[in-house]
């Protein structure tokens, strides 16, 4: 799988340490920054990673900030992105099985590196669930489309 990964300063060291793990797991990694611990703004990296996923350059995206929350809020503004903040095995598996999450958001101040690796593996390896989940994800896409029509905001 091709995985785009990005972080802000709070997530930088975890991103740095996760990249060799992803390579060892057999994935191709696109590093979208940041590249040091100097203070920076998480939406910039949410944008870079989600653009890669949206355009199909990457299959999945991983975003790391202090909590995962800011990254998820920013990422979910991008059409076609389903970003999930996950904090344990159940949420990581459900994000894949129920929500077809194509971006995983992790909190560097909430999770250890070992926990992150476990969540990433689960999220990547868990298949999307049965038809009722497809129907629900389809309804999410329909909401998104109703607001995108002609570049204007329309009532759904």
Distance between CA 103 and CA 87 in Å, rounded?
14
Cβ of residue 143: shortest distance to ligand RB5, in angstroms?
Answer: 23
Confirm whether 86 is a catalytic residue.
no
Q: Which of 9, 40, 98, 133 is catalytic?
A: 98
Span near ligand RB5 by CB under 6 A; candidates 27-35, 59-67, 79-87, 136-144: 59-67
Cβ distance to ligand RB5 smaller for residue 67 or 102: 67
Distance between CA 52 and CA 49 in Å, rounded?
5
Cβ of residue 136: shortest distance to ligand RB5, in angstroms?
Answer: 26
Q: What part of residues 21-40 is at the interface with ligand RB5 (CB under 6 A)? A: none
Confirm whether 27 is a catalytic residue.
no
Q: Is 32 left (phi over 0), alpha (psi -120 to 50) or beta?
A: alpha
10 binds ligand RB5 (CB under 6 A): yes
Long-range contacts from 80-88, C-beta under 8 angstroms, 24+ separation: 80/53, 80/54, 80/144, 81/50, 81/53, 81/54, 82/137, 82/140, 83/46, 83/50, 86/119, 86/123, 87/111, 87/119, 88/115, 88/119
67 binds ligand RB5 (CB under 6 A): yes
66 binds ligand RB5 (CB under 6 A): yes
Residues designated as active site: 65, 98
Interface with ligand RB5 (CB under 6 A):
8, 10, 42, 65-67, 69-70
């Amino acid at each position: 799988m091709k995985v785009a990964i990005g972080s802000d300063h709070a997530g930088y060291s975890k991103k740095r340490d996760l990249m060799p793990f992803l390579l060892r797991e057999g994935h191709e990694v696109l590093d979208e920054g940041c590249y040091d611990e100097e203070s920076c703004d998480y939406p910039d990296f949410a944008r870079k990673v989600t653009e890669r996923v949206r355009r199909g350059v990457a299959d999945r995206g991983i975003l790391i900030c202090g909590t995962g929350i800011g990254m998820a809020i920013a990422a979910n503004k991008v059409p076609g992105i389903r970003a999930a903040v996950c904090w344990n095995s159940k949420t990581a598996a459900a994000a894949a099985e129920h929500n077809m999450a194509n971006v995983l958001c992790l909190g560097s101040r909430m999770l250890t590196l070992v926990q992150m690796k476990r969540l990433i593996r689960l999220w990547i390896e868990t298949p999307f669930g049965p038809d009722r989940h497809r129907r629900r994800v389809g309804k999410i896409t329909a909401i998104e489309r109703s607001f995108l029509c002609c570049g204007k905001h329309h009532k759904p």
